[in-house]
Amino acid sequence: MTLPRFAPAFARSFVPAVIGLVAATATLAPLPAAAETPAVAPAVAPAVSWPTKPVRVVIPFGAGSATDVVPRVVLEQLSARMGQTFVVENRGGAGGTLGSAAVAKAEPDGYTLLANSSAHTITPALYPNLGYDVTRDFVALGVIGSVPNVLIVAPSSGLNTVQDFVAAAKAKPGEFTFASVGIGSAVHLSAERFRASAGYEAVHIPFKGGAEALTEVIAGRVTYYFCPISTALPHIRAGRLKALAVSSPTRAAALPDVPTTLEAGFPNSDYTVWIGFFAPAKTNPAIVTTFHRELTAALESPVLKARLTDIGVEPLPVTPAEFETRVKEEVGTYAAFAKSIGMKIN
């Protein structure tokens, strides 16, 4: 099945949950006028002032995850650009569905947003009673970028290449264990895609957070982890972990000497993890346009570019419409994949 394509400094990426304290506001440009006809005067949407108060951004995972760290770095820059406070609320649980549900049910006024990863598109396959619809109850605002997952093991494992890894896993069926931050998380899906392609058996061990998963892999108590590169980089650079392959279709700029799983000879094993922003459905299109414009400008700033590059985030420029199309495609694709391997909530 082919999917659609779509640091030591890590510690500095953690910024306070309340970002920016400037009181000024940004004003949205008017919507384009409707086409003129001989009988009807052009209709012009009124300008909308937004934001005029703090904006709450719900992150449906715990602090310290890539889905938490990366949006915080970006929101700091957006706060400076837009002159308003962005308040981050970590609302984890149930594979990111609790926080997402809260945003889906929020007023579509632009003051409650969601920062989520590609895990957003696997949840419909795993949680039949979500209480919201991923494709209908949100409007896409924009993508920050992609964060490759990296296959990591402890240096004490004696595994030096991904080929060594697969050969050893096949020689000991079911003895290898792999970490994740929950069933249906992006790291879980990444690991399952690789396992299905390589054709070996392993035991899934979900943890409450990435820090705990990393600790267990470093100690050698869990065999491996398809970890977000932004989280793993400091440990790889310090020699506490060994990187065998990355999940992205092309090599990661932060680890240029590490091959992709595709290069290593495992077709359909790649998985692109994106991180982006959403708003409740029916949010004023002027707010969507302005947020995306400001996000695009922020991502072009040299300071933010450098910070994101340092934690392994790679550009993934798409329009809100393209982002929504991608979400819809992935919901269908991952539903089929989850069914094919029997992935489900126990």
Low-confidence stretches of the chain (pLDDT < 50) are: 1-46
What is the extent of the structural domain holding 82?
Answer: 8-146+274-341
Are residue 121 and residue 78 in the same domain, yes or no? yes
Q: Is 258 among the domain residues?
A: no
Spatial separation of the C-alpha atoms in residues 24 and 18, rounded to whole Å: 16
Are residue 187 and residue 237 in the same domain, yes or no? yes
Are residue 98 and residue 122 in the same domain, yes or no? yes
Q: Is 269 among the domain residues?
A: no
Question: For residue 177, what is the domain's CATH number?
Answer: 3.40.190.10
Which distant-in-sequence residues (6+ apart) come within 8 Å of 283 by Cβ?
108, 109, 110, 139
For residue 151, how many other CB atoms are within 10 A of its CB? Answer: 26
Are residue 117 and residue 194 in the same domain, yes or no? no
Q: Residue 123: what pLDDT?
A: 92
Q: Residue 44: what pLDDT?
A: 42
Q: Is 254 among the domain residues?
A: no
For residue 163, how many other CB atoms are within 10 A of its CB? Answer: 16
Tell me how far apart the terminal alpha carbons of the chain are, to the nearest angstrom.
25
Which of 118, 128, 168 minimizes the C-alpha distance to 272?
118
Are residue 131 and residue 223 in the same domain, yes or no? no
Number of domains composing the chain: 2
Are residue 219 and residue 315 in the same domain, yes or no? no
Q: Is 346 among the domain residues?
A: no
- Outline where DSSP puts E strands in the chain: 18-19, 55-59, 86-90, 112-117, 138-146, 149-153, 177-180, 203-206, 224-228, 242-246, 274-280
Question: For 261-284, how does the pLDDT look when each residue is reduced to its tens digit (9 = 90+)?
Answer: 999 999 999 998 999 999 999 999
Q: Residue 47: what pLDDT?
A: 54
DSSP structure class, residue 87: E
